[in-house]
Structures are given as structure tokens and as C-alpha cells.
Structure 1
Amino acid sequence: MEYRVEKVSPVKRTIHVTVPAEEVDASLSATIAMYGRDVQIDGFRKGKVPASVVESRFQKQIYNEATTELVNVHINEIVGEMDVNPVSRIDFDGDLLKRGEEFAYQLSFEIMPEFEMPNYEGIEVEEEEPEVNPDEVQAVIDRIRNQMAELEPISEDRAPQDGEVAVIDFQAFDEKGEPIEGIKAENFELPLGEGQALVDFESIIKNLKTDQEGEGEVTFPDDFLNEELAGKKVTMKVKLHAIKEKKLPEVNADFAQKAGGFESVDQMKEAVEQSYLQSRTQLTRSQAQKQLIDKLLKMVDIDIPEAILERHMNSMVEDQRHRMEQRGKSLESTGKTVEELREELKPQAEELARSEIVLLTLAKKEGIEVSEQEIDFYFRQIAARSGEDYNQLKQLYMENNLIWAVRDKLLADKATEFLYSKAAVTKVPPQKDDATKGDEAVS
């Protein structure tokens, strides 16, 4: 076998392969012999069927399998000699083997771009010191108190107020006065003033007293979960059965024990603070690592293989589709076609692709590897979080040829940590607007 490498682009190669007739005949003979050991044909003992009979009876299967086997052997040999890592599928362009004839075909695939890795040791980056505001800890305690509050009826003859819970029946009606399916409930407990219901709907309730009925118009927002009602106006009829107030538990040792098995309130506050610190530390470290990668990307000029870019765009589109479906909406409800969305996401996908290429190149340069145990641990973590069966999850990835994507992700993560370990990191005070970042602590 002889081959010639054609450099179609910086990241695409076409391999022109020529196989002499002797190798073609040997490959066909080997496949025929394999068939001959197992086939059962009337008039012949198993394993004693003449090669000519086997070839005549199973010619189509034999020539297909012999071609595939021979090409696969060549692929492994050629890729090994070229010392490249195809990042796309390998496309075959050729016919089937023909006995006694030379066999010529082409292989096309994309590879990682070749570029000179800049000096990545000592890159300067600032990392914020993690900090926890006492008010944040108190906010978590208050939220837990609110969750553990007991509801007690209010006997006072008045309308409900924010901070209280209204026990109601309600039903929505369309412009014809017909009830709307799915917008109905009985003895529903609705906390008021917490943003759990539309303002117009709460206004109807706040104008009622116990055992009174009322109605009013409510306009659903354009992004309402039920697309059929999004942006529409309906009549909502409500009956108020009772008003309840929340009795918050005292913040004492008993409260701490019930909230999370803590021995004291101080121990509980310390656990909340440590949870904040841990998540903040991970966040600020990730931000510093992102800055490092961005600085490294500015030092290189990279051609992005189409296969890597497509993979990132496809993944981002599917992630957005999944998020929309979790909200009860479809991707089409955005008013954009998939192609328009892909074009919108392309710059972000290009950045992710360039980051992946640099990190995987760094991993190769430094001899960073991922073990089978690390891959198994990754799947066990995913299975534990999602509740899926570990074996079935891993098998699904194997069947769909996605194991390599997991390996590359873990390699990139390791390369990121390596890059961070070589950086000149300067700790700086947190930004003022970071002091009240969202609740990363346990609740």
C-alpha cells in the first residue's frame, strides 16, 4: 500500500491510497477463508467448502467486508504514521475491491490545527478573594425560617395582605365565558407578595374577604408557559376561603436541629458561610482560569476545524432547546429558525472551539492524559446527579461514539488546571457588586 497526503486546508487532509493487486487478492482470500470456516452449504462438510463456492455464494458480503477491513487497517496505519488525531469522521471515497486489480481510493478528514504554542508560564491574572457578607448568611437563615413556618388561620374580617397565604378556588374563562381547561384549582394556598402569581391575579384576591367571591381580567405575559394563553386576556373568578399567616420558628438550637441536624445556631451559620466560601472560591477560580485562557487565545492564530465548530453549535442549540422545553415552551416559539439561532450562537461556539483546541494542544504538549478510571468516575457522578443507571448511561455514550468527547472534556479540564498552576495569580479584594451575588449557599 502506498499513499499521498494532500493538504486541502490547514485543518483538512485528503489521503490518496493505492493498493497493489497482490494485496487486494490477499485481503479477499483472507475474508473468503474466514467465511469458509463457518458456513454450512448442502453437499459439503462444515469447513470443507471450496473457496470458489464460498466466494460465488457470498460474493456481495465478502467483497464489502474485505473492502471495509482493508480500509480500516490502512486508516490505522496511515493515521499512526502521520501522527495526527482526526477530529471529524473519516470519509471514504472509493469502490469495492476487484480481484486481480489495483485498488485506489481516498480518505478525507479534519485534524487539529498546527500552531506554535506560546509561553504559558507566568501569565499574570487577578483572582478575587472569596468573601461572605453576614447579611447573606442571615438571608439564608431567614429563608429557611420562612420555609419552616407554620400556617395559622386569621379570624379578623379583612382582605389578605402581602406576606400572608390566601386559600382560594379559582377558574379562568375565555372571552365567550367558557372555562379554560387547566387554569383551575380548589383550596389552593397562594403566598401573596412573593411573585408566585401575576400581579393582576393577586389584586383580585386582595379585594376579597373570607367567603367572598370576585372576578377580574388577567393578561398572561407573552412568555407564559402555556403558549396558547401567552399574551391573552382572560376573566379569572376567585373565591377566598381563608387567610393564613406564617408563624416563623424562633432561631434557636431546636430550629438548627430541625433545619439540618446542627447542634447550634452558630454551627448552622458556620455551615452556611462555608458553603458560600466554597462556591465563591470555585467561582473566582473559574473566572481567573477563563481570563488565562482568553489571554492565551490572544497569543495564537488558530484555524477551526468545521467538525469541532459544528459540534459546539449543535450542543448549544440542543441546550437551548432543552431549557425552553423545561419552561414548557418550544424552540420555535422564539420566532427564530434553527439556522438563525445557529448563526447567532456562532461567535460563542467559535470561542469555545478555539479554547478547546488550545487546551487539548497544551495537554498533548505536556503529556497530560485521562485514565479509564477518571472516565468511569465522570459517568458515576453524572448518573448520581441524574438518577440514571451508570451502566446504561455509559453504554449509551459508547454506542453513539461519544466517549471521545467526554475524554476531551476531561483533558481540557486538566489542561486548565495545569495552566492555572503555572500562572502568576494575584489575589485582589472582591468587587463591590459581587458582595451580594445570588445564593450559592445551601438552603
Structure 2
Amino acid sequence: MEYNVEDLSPVKRKITVQVPAEEANAAIMTSIAMYRMQADVKGFRKGKVPSSVVESRYRKQIYGEATTDLINYQINEIMSGLSIQPMSRIDVDAKELERDTDFTYSIEFEVAPKLDLPEYKGLAVEEVKAVVSPEEIAEVEERILQNNAEVKVIEEVRPAKTGEVATLTFGAYQDGKIVEGIQAENFDLVLGEGQSLPEFEELVKTLSSGEEGETEITFPEDFINEGLAGQTVTMKCKVHAVKQRFTPEMSDEVAKKAGFSDVETMRKGIEESYAGQRKQMNQSAAQSKLLGDIIESITEFPLPPSMVEDRIDRLIQDLEYKLDRQGKGLQSLGKTPQQMRDEFKDEAERTVKTEIFLLAVAAEEGLEISPEEIEATLSQLAMQTRQPLHELKKYYEDNNLIVPLKDRLLCDKASELIYDAAKVTEIEPPVAGKAAAKEEAPAKEEAAEGSITFDNKAEAVEWAVANLGIKESTAKSYSLAKLQERAEKFLAEKED
């Protein structure tokens, strides 16, 4: 075998391979021998069928497999000899082997461009301190207390109040038919926690145990179920019972139910857990910032087009997955496939540029990924996805995903090496968003003299979370107009 390497571009190579007739014949004979061992031909014992008969009967399969096996073997041999790592699929241009005939074929693939590495060790970076506030610990304690609260039916026949629990059966109706997904039986609704739309809670607050009622509700334009967004339905509801929650005082007994020996151990455990998670998050953010600064300093270099396209595909798949979890599809964005690809192009190019840089660092530092590390990563993925390890491993092998996995692990190692060598300075954390909102809210209310106007929905959501005590996800499900209405009602009630 002889071959010639041609540079089609800074990131693309073409290799032309010439195989003498003797090697071609040997590949064909090897394939015939494999088929001869398994061939079942009437009149011959298994394994004793003449080669000429086997070749005649299975010619198409034999020559096809001989060609594929020879090319695959030679590609591995060539790549190892040249120390080249393809960054794309290898495109093969080849005909089929023929007896007693020289065989010529070519392959094309993309490679990483040559990169002059900048200084990447000993660089300065700031990392936010992992600080846990007493308020955060108190929030966790409150959740633990709520989880241990006793719920008892109120004997007095009356509607439920804010803070109480109403057990009810409800459903949304359009044209007299139930709306799929907006219905429940014996559902415990805690009033005042933003678990449902305000209009529905107002209906529930008018019904005593055993009573039924209905009201028309218009879903917000940005309702999580886009099929119902902006539509009006009739909500029907029957209250079965009104209950009151009795929250216990914090004690060692409550702490034990939460898995701790006592209250002091519980609080220490909460603080350590928060601090550990926050340390990891802050370090990851600082590491990303450091890496981003290094990448920005590198002179522009050509990127393998197929790598960029592959990253765009992944970004769109991630977006599709997120939208699917919200009950939406890509079509809800109102953009063409090409528009989405264009929007993701810059991000994809940054990702590819970062990967090429980190792989270059890994090569410079002699970093390697052992088979044991690959196995451990696949084991972890198998546990996360609840798949048998052997099936996941076969999937990665059959779809040529082992090399990309190895590259990802190499990139992680290189990134950690860069951060470990950096000069890290800890800085104080910024003022928390909720705390700042709570400090600003009274001033806003006073200046507005009983009224408030939001410039955008993000501002309205932040205000609602800080002042109305509802969850952020719930606030986001409301329209800007509805949040404005709730804010004005809140301020009016406060004045009264």
C-alpha cells in the first residue's frame, strides 16, 4: 500500500491510496475463507465447500465486505502513522475490489487547524465566595416544617381562606366538553401560594364544603400550554373539604424526620450542602470566564465546517427538548429552520473554537483518557439514563461516539488543568436579586402613591416574587397585564 496526502484547505485533507493487486487478492481470499467456514451448501459438508463454489454463490457479499474491511484496516493504519485525528466523518470514494487488479481509492476528512497556543497558565481570575445566608437556611427549615405540617379538616362549614387547604374536584370546559389536562379529582389546593390562576382561587374562596361553582377564565397569552394561551374556558369546581395546616415548631424530633440527628446538625448540613453546591457553581462560572477570555485573545483561525454544523444541530436539539418539556414545539418560535441555524451559528463557532483550543492544550500537556475512564463515564451515563451499560456501550460503539466522548473528557481535563494553574482571587458575592427587590419595593410603592407601573414583564415577575410571595415559575405564567392587575390590587388592599 502507498498513499499520498493532499491539503485541500487548512482544515481539510485528502488521502489517495494505491493498493497492489496482490493485497487486493489477499483481501478477497480472506473474505472467501470466512464465508467458506459458515457456508451451508447442499451436497457438501459444512466447512468443506470448495472456494470457487462459495465465491460464485456469495460473490456480491464477499467482494463488498472484502472492500470495506480492507479500507477500514488501511485507514486505521494510515491515521496511526500520520498521527492525524479526523474532526469529521471520513468520506470514502472507492469502487469494489477486483481480482488481479490494482485498487485505488481516496478519503477526505476535516482536521483541526494548526494553532499557536497563547499563554494559558498562571492567569488571573476572580471567583465569587461561596457564602450561605441565614435567610437561605431559614427557607430550607421552613420547607422542612411545611413538609411535617399536619392537615386537619375544619369542622366549621365555610369557604377556605388564604393559607388554608381546599380539597376539590375541578375541570375546564369548552363548548360543554372537558379540556384534556385541566382537570383533577380530590386535589388539595393551598390558597395564596400561586398554585393556580388568581381567578380560580377567587372562585374557590366563595365555596363552602359540598358546594359547587363555576366561572369563566381567560388564560394568559404566554400560558405554558400554548394550545390554551389566550383562550377562555369555563372552570367548574366542587369543594369537598376545607383544611387547616398546623405547622410544628422546629425541634430535634422534626430534624430527625428530615434525616438529621438534631437541629444543630441539620443546620450545619444545610449550610455545608449549599456551600458545596455554590462553590462548584462559582468555580464553574469562573472557569468559563477564564476560558472565554483566553479564547477571545486567540487570533481567528479556520474552523472545520462539519464541526460547526454538528454543534448547531445539537443546539437546536437542546432547544427542541426544552420546548417539548413546556408542551411546545420549534414551530412555536415562528422561525424557519435556516433562521434558527443562523442564530445559533456564532454560539456553535465559539464552542468549536473552544474545543479545538482545549484539545491542542491536551496534546501539548500529554493528557490522555484511559479505557477505564471511558468505562466509568459510560457507567455513569447508564445510571443517569437508566439503561443497561452493555446496551449503552454498544450504541456508542455502533454510532462511532467513543471518539467524541474521549475528546470531551480530554477537553474537561485540559480546562481543569488551566484553572488549577490560574491565580484565583476570591471576591464577595453581589447583593442577591430578591433582597435588592425587597429593599426597593417600599420606595417604589411610596413614590407611586398607591400605584405601580412595570416597564416590562421581567420587572413585574421580580416584584411579584418579592412582594406577593408567589413562585417565580408561577409569576412567569401570568401575562404582564395580569401581573399589573395583581400588583395594583395588592397595593389597594394594603392602603385599606
**TM-score scaled by length of structure 2:** 0.81
Counterpart AA for 2:422: A
Indicate whether 1:271 and 2:269 are aligned. Answer: yes
The residue that corresponds to 1:153 in the other structure is: 153
- Give deviations 1:256-309, integer Å, cap 9, x for gaps: 11122x122111111000011001110111111111211221232332222322
Residue pair 2:115, 2:357 contacting (<8 A) in 1 also: no
Query: CA, structure 1 residues 412+339, in 2 after alignment: closer, same or farther (shift >3 Å)?
Result: same
The residue that corresponds to 2:484 in the other structure is: none
Indicate whether 1:124 and 2:130 are aligned. Answer: no
The 2-side partners of 1:173 and 1:17 are apart by 70
Indicate whether 1:388 and 2:395 are aligned. Answer: no
> Quick one: percent identity of the two aligned structures?
44
The 1-side partners of 2:69 and 2:386 are apart by 40
What SS does structure 1 have at the residue aligned with 2:357?
helix
Residue pair 2:165, 2:191 contacting (<8 A) in 1 also: yes
The residue that corresponds to 2:95 in the other structure is: 95
Any stretches of 5+ residues in structure 2 without a counterpart? 437-464, 466-470, 472-496
Within 5 Å, which residues of 2 pair with 1:62-77? 62-77=62-77
Query: CA, structure 1 residues 157+66, in 2 after alignment: closer, same or farther (shift >3 Å)?
Result: closer
The more displaced of 219-228 and 403-412 is 219-228
Aligned length: 437
Query: CA, structure 1 residues 378+230, in 2 after alignment: closer, same or farther (shift >3 Å)?
Result: same
Indicate whether 1:378 and 2:370 are aligned. Answer: no
The 2-side partners of 1:56 and 1:384 are apart by 49
The 2-side partners of 1:388 and 1:70 are apart by 34
Indicate whether 1:309 and 2:283 are aligned. Answer: no
- Give deviations 1:196-252, integer Å, cap 9, x for gaps: 111221121123344433221112234545444232100112223332221111101
- Give deviations 1:54-77, integer Å, cap 9, x for gaps: 433332222212211221222122
Pick aligned residue for 2:293 from 292, 295, 300: 295
Residue pair 2:115, 2:360 contacting (<8 A) in 1 also: no
What SS does structure 2 have at the residue aligned with 1:99?
coil
Within 5 Å, which residues of 2 pair with 1:10-409? 10-41=10-41, 50-156=50-156, 158-174=158-174, 176-260=175-259, 262-300=260-298, 301-409=300-408
Query: CA, structure 1 residues 390+18, in 2 after alignment: closer, same or farther (shift >3 Å)?
Result: closer
Query: CA, structure 1 residues 75+436, in 2 after alignment: closer, same or farther (shift >3 Å)?
Result: farther
CA shift at 1:95, angstroms?
0.9
What SS does structure 2 have at the residue aligned with 1:238?
strand
The 2-side partners of 1:135 and 1:240 are apart by 36
The more displaced of 127-136 and 342-351 is 342-351
The 1-side partners of 2:335 and 2:361 are apart by 38
Residue pair 1:165, 1:190 contacting (<8 A) in 2 also: yes
What SS does structure 2 have at the residue aligned with 1:187?
strand
Query: CA, structure 1 residues 45+376, in 2 after alignment: closer, same or farther (shift >3 Å)?
Result: closer
Counterpart AA for 1:139: E
The 2-side partners of 1:142 and 1:334 are apart by 39
What SS does structure 2 have at the residue aligned with 1:186?
strand
- Give deviations 1:361-397, integer Å, cap 9, x for gaps: 2112111112222222223323333433333333332
The 2-side partners of 1:318 and 1:360 are apart by 24
CA shift at 1:21, angstroms?
3.1
The 1-side partners of 2:399 and 2:220 are apart by 40
The 2-side partners of 1:44 and 1:355 are apart by 61
- Give deviations 1:35-86, integer Å, cap 9, x for gaps: 4455454566665655444433332222212211221222122212221101
Indicate whether 1:413 and 2:412 are aligned. Answer: yes
CA shift at 1:329, angstroms?
2.9
The 1-side partners of 2:78 and 2:221 are apart by 57
The residue that corresponds to 1:426 in the other structure is: 425
Determine which structure has greater relative contact order: mean sequence separation of CA pairs < 8 Å that are 6+ residues apart, divided by chain length: 1
What SS does structure 1 have at the residue aligned with 2:122?
coil
CA shift at 1:339, angstroms?
3.7
The 1-side partners of 2:162 and 2:191 are apart by 5
Any stretches of 5+ residues in structure 1 without a counterpart? none
Query: CA, structure 1 residues 216+367, in 2 after alignment: closer, same or farther (shift >3 Å)?
Result: same
**TM-score scaled by length of structure 1:** 0.90
Quote the RMSD (CA, aligned, Å). 2.6
The more displaced of 356-365 and 31-40 is 31-40
The 2-side partners of 1:39 and 1:392 are apart by 30
CA shift at 1:182, angstroms?
4.2
Query: CA, structure 1 residues 333+139, in 2 after alignment: closer, same or farther (shift >3 Å)?
Result: same
The more displaced of 384-393 and 289-298 is 384-393
The 1-side partners of 2:178 and 2:281 are apart by 49
The more displaced of 355-364 and 220-229 is 220-229
Residue pair 1:132, 1:435 contacting (<8 A) in 2 also: no
What SS does structure 2 have at the residue aligned with 1:161?
coil
Bigger helix fraction: 2
What SS does structure 1 have at the residue aligned with 2:95?
coil
